[in-house]
């Protein structure tokens, strides 16, 4: 069955009961729908937006990460000249406060149209069915009834439609209304304000990608005592650049007005002004959402399943790496025709969030809690030390590809290399930090 070409095509009726109903057709929804269908399951997707509508966000990924997935052809841009700045900045452009740290690793931006088409094409080829509507409720019926021996999940849409499936998988993003998770206090958000456009002078060097520019000599001492932010920027070619003032994470998040003002100050300090705005990005998403309750009778994936990396904010690499394993776990559980939605979901949660990943999630959250307390100079010193770690350690940390012992070794090495002011900031337990460490031992 072809993917929807227009609104009228979307209302294709589903079979009475799918194996899995995926809610949401963002990156997570399309990725997992294709992976589940590749396991031979009957998959339907319910989305309140046209699955072919362009996604609002821009998705970046490390080059080697996308290479290892065999998907480098889905990148729209790729940079080898990748740098960060952790000095304070200074008037002399060649001075020590302006020296870049060279990352020596490629960074890429997905061509998001190609990424979306990649998953839509797989879904089309594998017979995924499409429904248009907003999921507003979930119930269970037919428990051990004659027609549905194992019971089914029934999703109700805002329009009153009822869609039935053996398992519901929520990929509706971090604002999911159906997924249950514990309340662990305030959730920190990464906020960023960015502009794609043209500038009176180049905001970054030719062919350069800047992961983090923490220079702050454009700010007054009062501004420097406020929560820090950094520049994420890239040369898009042909005189176009993307510049984004970004905060690590904060609860409540830094306001967009503050970020916009800081971006303008930063650019003005380097003699740069925006001459044409092509696109403005207002980015806000949670960085330390608690892991979902693994006893609930539905499954989740992507932002809804707290899969955003608590240290880096990245998700797409994790979707691509973890979807096949999760799909296999769900397919194996579905092989038992008597399995209830709760049993299928439990098998899915075990596949998605095994103990090792839960331990790492606790460690990352612990680290983020620490960093959110760091004032500007200490944060710069922390990142200078972090990127001085051997490349496999810092890149494995950021891509979540280290084992728990490897992750602990990287953290201990960082502690050993760090200046005293950073070590002091890392010592002692405040707020939720003890609970985070407790979850490392008992995830
Ligand atoms: C501005 C921005 C930039 C980011 N940059 C990166 C990056 O560079 N790299 C990276 O890896 N990550 C990045 N992220 C983080 C993360 O990858 C994104 O948040 C990602 O879009 C989450 O994907 P998702 O599919 O889980 O959710 P979403 O993208 O939010 O998609 C959810 C979908 O579900 C639909 N939906 C919602 N509710 C319902 C409902 N009740 N019923 C039916 N449908 C529903 C929505 O319409 C939407 O289509 C960024 C996030 C933002 C906000």
Q: Where does 267-360 show beta strands of DSSP type E? A: 274-286, 299-300
**Token pair listed for 343:** 């049993």
Residue 108 lies in a domain: no
28 close to ligand 1 (CB < 6 Angstrom): yes
Q: What are phi and psi of 29, to 5 degrees?
A: -65, -45
Task: Please indicate, yes or no, whether residues 203 and 322 belong to a single structural domain of this protein.
Answer: no
151-193 residue pLDDT tens: 899 999 999 999 999 999 999 999 999 999 999 999 999 999 9
CA of 26 to the centre of ligand 1 (A): 6
CA of 315 to the centre of ligand 1 (A): 9
Residue 393 lies in a domain: yes
Task: Please indicate, yes or no, whether residues 190 and 257 belong to a single structural domain of this protein.
Answer: yes
Task: Please indicate, yes or no, whether residues 306 and 419 belong to a single structural domain of this protein.
Answer: no
Given this model, what pLDDT does residue 130 score? 97
302 close to ligand 1 (CB < 6 Angstrom): yes
From 35, 196, 285, 287, give the residue whose CB has the most ligand 1 atoms within 8 Å, as the site to mutate. 285
189 close to ligand 1 (CB < 6 Angstrom): no
* pLDDT band (50, 70, 90) for residue 209: very high
Given this model, what pLDDT does residue 429 score? 85
Q: In this structure, which residue's CA is closest to atom 17 in ligand 1?
A: 315
> Whole domain around residue 228: which residue ranges?
186-286
Residue 207 lies in a domain: yes
Given this model, what pLDDT does residue 142 score? 72
Question: Which letter does DSSP use for residue 403 in this model?
Answer: -
Given this model, what pLDDT does residue 144 score? 53
Task: Please indicate, yes or no, whether residues 222 and 142 belong to a single structural domain of this protein.
Answer: no
Q: Which residue has the tokens 């810092």?
A: 394
Residue 88 lies in a domain: no
Given this model, what pLDDT does residue 297 score? 95
Task: Please indicate, yes or no, whether residues 29 and 145 belong to a single structural domain of this protein.
Answer: yes
* pLDDT band (50, 70, 90) for residue 1: very low
Residue 99 lies in a domain: no
Pick from 221, 218, 219, 247: nearest CA to 232: 247
CA of 24 to the centre of ligand 1 (A): 9
**How crowded is the C-beta side of 119, counted as CA atoms within 13 Å?**
24
Task: Say how many domains are in the chain.
Answer: 3
23 close to ligand 1 (CB < 6 Angstrom): yes
Task: Please indicate, yes or no, whether residues 165 and 20 belong to a single structural domain of this protein.
Answer: yes
Give percent of the chain with pLDDT exceeding 90: 88
Residue 65 lies in a domain: no
Instruction: Measure the CA–CA gap between 84 and 150, rounded to whole angstroms.
Output: 55
State the CATH number of the domain containing residue 335. Answer: 3.50.50.60
Q: In this structure, which residue's CA is closest to atom 5 in ligand 1?
A: 59
**Token pair listed for 51:** 């699955």
238-273 residue pLDDT tens: 999 999 999 999 999 999 999 999 999 999 999 999
From 247, 313, 321, 322, give the residue whose CB has the most ligand 1 atoms within 8 Å, as the site to mutate. 313
**pTM across the whole model:** 0.93
**Token pair listed for 53:** 């509508």
60 close to ligand 1 (CB < 6 Angstrom): yes
Judge whether 90 and 54 are in contact, CB under 8 Å: no
**Token pair listed for 167:** 């398992």
292 close to ligand 1 (CB < 6 Angstrom): no
Given this model, what pLDDT does residue 434 score? 86
Average pLDDT over residues 118-129: 98
301-335 residue pLDDT tens: 999 999 999 989 999 999 999 999 999 999 999 99
314 close to ligand 1 (CB < 6 Angstrom): yes
Q: Where among 286, 313, 344 does a domain terminate? A: 286
* pLDDT band (50, 70, 90) for residue 110: very high
Task: Please indicate, yes or no, whether residues 296 and 263 belong to a single structural domain of this protein.
Answer: no
Task: Please indicate, yes or no, whether residues 23 and 138 belong to a single structural domain of this protein.
Answer: yes
173 close to ligand 1 (CB < 6 Angstrom): yes
Task: Please indicate, yes or no, whether residues 274 and 300 belong to a single structural domain of this protein.
Answer: no
Q: Where among 229, 253, 286 does a domain terminate? A: 286
Given this model, what pLDDT does residue 5 score? 37
Residue 332 lies in a domain: yes
Task: Please indicate, yes or no, whether residues 272 and 325 belong to a single structural domain of this protein.
Answer: no
Q: Where among 265, 286, 307 does a domain terminate? A: 286
135-145 residue pLDDT tens: 999 999 875 55
161 close to ligand 1 (CB < 6 Angstrom): no
Given this model, what pLDDT does residue 430 score? 87
Higher pLDDT, 85 or 437: 85
Judge whether 350 and 99 are in contact, CB under 8 Å: no
What 3-state DSSP class applies to 323? helix
Task: Please indicate, yes or no, whether residues 312 and 265 belong to a single structural domain of this protein.
Answer: no
Judge whether 266 and 199 are in contact, CB under 8 Å: no
User: Does the pLDDT value for residue 7 go beyond 60?
Assistant: no
* pLDDT band (50, 70, 90) for residue 150: low
Instruction: Measure the CA–CA gap between 72 and 107, rounded to whole angstroms.
Output: 11
What Å distances lie between residue 145 and 148, 162, 297, 340, 409, CA to CA?
5, 18, 18, 12, 53
Residue 316 lies in a domain: yes
Residue 257 makes CB contacts below 8 A (sequence gap 6+) with none
CA angle 215, 218, 222 (to 5 degrees): 100
User: Does the pLDDT value for residue 15 go beyond 50?
Assistant: no
Task: Please indicate, yes or no, whether residues 200 and 244 belong to a single structural domain of this protein.
Answer: yes
316 close to ligand 1 (CB < 6 Angstrom): yes
Pick from 101, 63, 190: nearest CA to 383: 101
Question: Within 10 A of 393 (CB to CB), how many other CB atoms are there?
Answer: 18
* pLDDT band (50, 70, 90) for residue 436: confident
24-65 residue pLDDT tens: 999 999 999 999 999 999 999 999 999 999 998 889 999 999
């Amino acid at each position: 069955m072809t993917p929807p070409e227009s609104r009228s095509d979307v209302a294709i009726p589903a079979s009475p009961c799918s194996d899995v109903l995926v809610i949401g057709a963002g990156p997570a929804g399309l990725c997992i729908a294709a992976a589940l269908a590749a396991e031979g399951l009957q998959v339907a997707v319910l989305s309140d937006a046209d699955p072919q509508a362009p996604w609002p966000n821009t998705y970046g990924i490390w080059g080697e990460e996308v290479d290892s997935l065999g998907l480098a052809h889905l990148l729209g841009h790729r940079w080898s000249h990748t740098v960060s700045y952790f000095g304070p900045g200074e008037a002399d452009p060649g001075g020590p406060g302006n020296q870049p740290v060279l990352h020596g690793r490629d960074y890429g931006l997905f061509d998001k149209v190609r990424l979306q088409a990649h998953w839509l094409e797989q879904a089309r080829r594998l017979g995924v069915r499409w429904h248009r509507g907003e999921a507003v409720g979930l119930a269970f019926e037919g428990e051990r009834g004659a027609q549905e021996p194992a019971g089914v999940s029934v999703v109700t849409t805002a329009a009153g439609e009822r869609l039935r499936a053996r398992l519901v998988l929520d990929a509706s993003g971090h604002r999911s209304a159906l997924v249950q998770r514990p309340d662990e206090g305030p959730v920190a958000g990464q906020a960023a304000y960015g502009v794609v456009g043209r500038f009176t002078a180049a905001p970054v060097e030719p062919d350069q990608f800047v992961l983090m520019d923490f220079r702050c000599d454009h700010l007054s001492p009062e501004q420097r005592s406020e929560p820090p932010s950094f520049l994420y920027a890239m040369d898009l070619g042909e005189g176009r650049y993307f510049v984004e003032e970004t905060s690590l994470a904060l609860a409540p998040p830094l306001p967009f007005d503050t970020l916009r003002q800081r971006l303008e100050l930063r650019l003005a300090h380097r003699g740069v002004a925006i001459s044409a705005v092509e696109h403005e990005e207002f980015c806000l998403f949670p960085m330390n959402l608690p892991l979902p309750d693994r006893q609930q009778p539905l499954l989740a994936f992507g932002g809804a399943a707290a899969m955003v990396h608590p240290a880096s904010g990245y998700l797409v690499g994790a979707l691509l790496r973890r979807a096949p394993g999760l799909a296999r776990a769900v397919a194996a559980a579905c092989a038992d025709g008597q399995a209830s939605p709760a049993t299928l979901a439990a098998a899915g949660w075990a596949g998605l969030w095994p103990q090792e990943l839960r331990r790492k999630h606790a460690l990352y959250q612990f680290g983020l809690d620490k960093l959110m307390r760091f004032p500007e100079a200490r944060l710069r010193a922390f990142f200078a030390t972090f990127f001085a770690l051997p490349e496999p350690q810092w890149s494995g940390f950021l891509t979540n590809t280290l084992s728990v012992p490897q992750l602990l070794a990287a953290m201990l090495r960082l502690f050993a290399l760090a200046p005293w002011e950073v070590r002091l900031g890392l010592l002692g337990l405040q707020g939720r930090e003890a609970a985070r460490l407790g979850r490392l031992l008992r995830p």
